[in-house]
Amino acid sequence: MTDVVTAVTEESLDPGDWEALRRLGHRMVDDLVQFQRTIGDQRVWTPAPPEVRRTWEDALPQDGVGAAAAYDQFRETILPYGIGNLHPRFWGWVTGTGSPGGMLAGLMAGGMNAHAAFGDQVATHIERQVLSWCAGLLGLPADSGGVMVTSGSMANLTGLIVARDHMLPQALEDGVRATPRPAVIYASQQVHSSVDKAAGIIGLGRTAVRKIPVDADYRIRIPELQRAIAADREVGLNPIAVIGTAGTVNTGAIDDLGALAAVARQHGIWFHVDAAFGVGLATSARLGRLIAGIELADSIAFDFHKWFYVPYDAAAVLVRDRGAQRRSFAFNASYLAHLERGIPAGGTAFNELGVDLSRGFRSLKVWMTFKEHGIEKFGRLVEQNVDQAGYLASLVERHPRLELTSPVAINVVTFRYVVDGASAEQLNDLNREILMRLHEGGQVVPSFTVLEGRFVIRIAIVNHRSVRADFDLLVEATVAAGDAITRG
Ligand SMILES: *Cc1c(COP(=O)(O)O)cnc(C)c1O
């Protein structure tokens, strides 16, 4: 050993000048508050000009420019070029708006940088609290399992992993190839594609999702489901789960969840509900009955970033049998073992309840949003959105150039511009062109889907900023675009 003291230069990422950082932080908050406050005065979507796009291909910086200069670049080349989903006239796909309070909560979570994997620490306790609030809202026991995840897709996947392992106990160790009969699962033709994705990922294969026909209201036909299960059993397949959708992505249809629960019980199979956005209905006394039967589910997947208006990304899956959930994900790893005291002694080990080990403090923005507003406010906002959908539908029905293309169950409205004597293909081309012009026009953003071969304009209202006049404008803009195209 030497006792020569050498001078070493050691670095950190902390700022040299904390006061400058504080001033920069205040500027950032000011700018973002202004951005959200004035969002409705801006265009909805603004495509980026070429000189901005070029910066998105800049090489990896070797030397830093400093926080202030990096922030200037953010303001110029990033902030203005989202899809516009915070805007009161954005209703595309099922895209959430977030909220100003949720924005600040994101700052808190980033500032704490809590690691919500396990341990006796606030982040796991708060996530547990948020999950039991949700279990209570949906009528599941308070001690149900659950875990927060990034998305409804991940929530469906997580629920179906638990379903597979519960129904096919050999699969976890030996793979689904070790199970004697091929497993199949059931959902309606309107089921979200994330379920097909999940079936592939969990080794059942995408063709294992049996797509059951729907009725005129786009709800799963229960007698057809019964027939499919019987026929599959007959040929040696192994039905393991039925999936109900509370709010389909295409039209907002809600399957008869009580009837599906009865079918699942009768056959001794898992009942999973995809309530990605339909979960919001649970906050309303008036609308909650539409998802009656959800309390009978074995697992429920849902998003916070859709109809709870929480900023991206935030979703959860609840699992009635927490033990089943643990069996799918718990591992004996020496470096993750529990102890009698200290950090590893308490809290909830979320790394044993889902795929992720490292996980952020995603529950904080839900917790702060619920605390700020109270759940009754969400009930009113969800009702407001459903009433707006009814209002839009009435405008469409009254207009001679517009046609409603699916029944309005909750907050999704589909319609198209029609011209007498036009062929099906001409109408599809016309409505596709209208949609693109609407996006480019910057006034309104709907999305689209295809229903029985018809290209339709689709509005999904999970937007707390929309007011009725916004839907008047949507109808005007759509008709104006259609008229302009047909007049040539
Ligand atoms: C949006 C949606 C999903 C997927 O959720 P993500 O959070 O986008 O991954 C699943 N099912 C339905 C019915 C949806 O609307």
The separation between the first and the last C-alpha atoms of the chain, rounded to the nearest angstrom, is: 88
Atom nearest to 247 CA in ligand 1: 13
C-alpha distances out from residue 60 to 56, 63, 64, 133, Å = 11, 9, 10, 44
* Contact partners, residue 58, CB within 8 Å, separation at least 6: none
Please name every residue paired with 290 in a beta bridge, in sequence order, or none if there are none.
none
* Contact partners, residue 355, CB within 8 Å, separation at least 6: 149, 154, 157, 158, 161, 329
pLDDT class for 3, splitting at 50, 70, 90?
low
Alpha carbon 362 to chain centroid, angstroms: 14
Give residue 338's pLDDT. Answer: 79
Q: What is the mean pLDDT of residues 233-248?
A: 98
Distance CA 255, CA 291 (A): 8
Distance CA 416, CA 407 (A): 13
Considering Cα of 210, then 214, then 220, then 226, what sign does the dihedral take? negative
Average pLDDT, rounded, for the chain: 96
Give residue 1's pLDDT. Answer: 54
- Does residue 247 come out as left (phi exceeding 0), alpha (psi in the -120 to 50 range) or beta? left
- Does residue 442 come out as left (phi exceeding 0), alpha (psi in the -120 to 50 range) or beta? left
Which residue has the least CA distance to atom 15 on ligand 1? 249
pLDDT class for 472, splitting at 50, 70, 90?
very high
Give residue 378's pLDDT. Answer: 98
Which residue has the least CA distance to atom 6 on ligand 1? 152
Is there a contact between 119 and 344 (Cβ–Cβ < 8 Å)? yes
Atom nearest to 305 CA in ligand 1: 7
Atom nearest to 313 CA in ligand 1: 7
Distance CA 299, CA 147 (A): 11
Residue with tokens 């192994």: 238
Distance CA 394, CA 378 (A): 24
Please name every residue paired with 449 in a beta bridge, in sequence order, or none if there are none.
456
Ligand 1 site-directed mutation target among 274, 279, 281, 459, most atoms within 8 Å of CB: 274
Ligand 1 site-directed mutation target among 93, 94, 150, most atoms within 8 Å of CB: 94
pLDDT class for 94, splitting at 50, 70, 90?
very high
pLDDT tens-digit readout, 253-307: 999 999 999 999 999 999 999 999 999 999 999 999 999 999 999 999 999 999 9
**What is the distance in A from the centroid of ligand 1 to the CA of 192?**
7
**What is the distance in A from the centroid of ligand 1 to the CA of 151?**
7
Distance CA 308, CA 433 (A): 32
C-alpha distances out from residue 211 to 189, 220, 247, 363, 386, Å = 5, 9, 17, 34, 28
Short-list 226, 316, 369, 71, CA closest to 210: 226
Which residue has the least CA distance to atom 2 on ligand 1? 276
| β-strand pairing of 315-319 with 402-404 | unpaired
Q: Give the binding-site residues of ligand 1, using a 6 Å CB cut-off.
A: 94, 151-153, 192, 194, 245, 247-249, 274, 276-277, 303, 315
Considering Cα of 307, then 311, then 313, then 315, what sign does the dihedral take? negative
pLDDT tens-digit readout, 131-153: 999 999 999 998 899 999 999 99
Grouping H, G, I as helix, E, B as strand and the rest as coil, residue 246 is strand
**What is the distance in A from the centroid of ligand 1 to the CA of 305?**
10
Containing 243, the helix (H) or strand (E) segment is: strand 238-245
Q: Note the residue count of the chain.
A: 488
| β-strand pairing of 270-274 with 299-303 | parallel
Distance CA 278, CA 284 (A): 11
Which residue has the least CA distance to atom 3 on ligand 1? 152
DSSP annotation string for 365-412: HHHHHHHHH-HHHHHHHHHHHHHHHHHHHHHHHH-TTEEE-S--SSSE
pLDDT class for 4, splitting at 50, 70, 90?
low
Is there a contact between 171 and 164 (Cβ–Cβ < 8 Å)? yes
**What is the distance in A from the centroid of ligand 1 to the CA of 193?**
8
pLDDT tens-digit readout, 13-30: 999 999 999 999 999 999
Q: How many Cα atoms sit within 13 Å of 305 on the Cβ side?
A: 22
Short-list 324, 323, 178, 173, CA closest to 241: 324
Atom nearest to 275 CA in ligand 1: 13
Distance CA 479, CA 79 (A): 31
pLDDT surpasses 80 at 336: no
Ligand 1 site-directed mutation target among 148, 158, 192, 193, most atoms within 8 Å of CB: 192
Peptide bond into 313 cis (omega under 30): yes
**What is the distance in A from the centroid of ligand 1 to the CA of 226?**
26
pLDDT surpasses 60 at 2: no
Is there a contact between 294 and 331 (Cβ–Cβ < 8 Å)? no
Q: What is the mean pLDDT of residues 384-399?
A: 98
Where is pLDDT greater, at 6 or 72?
72
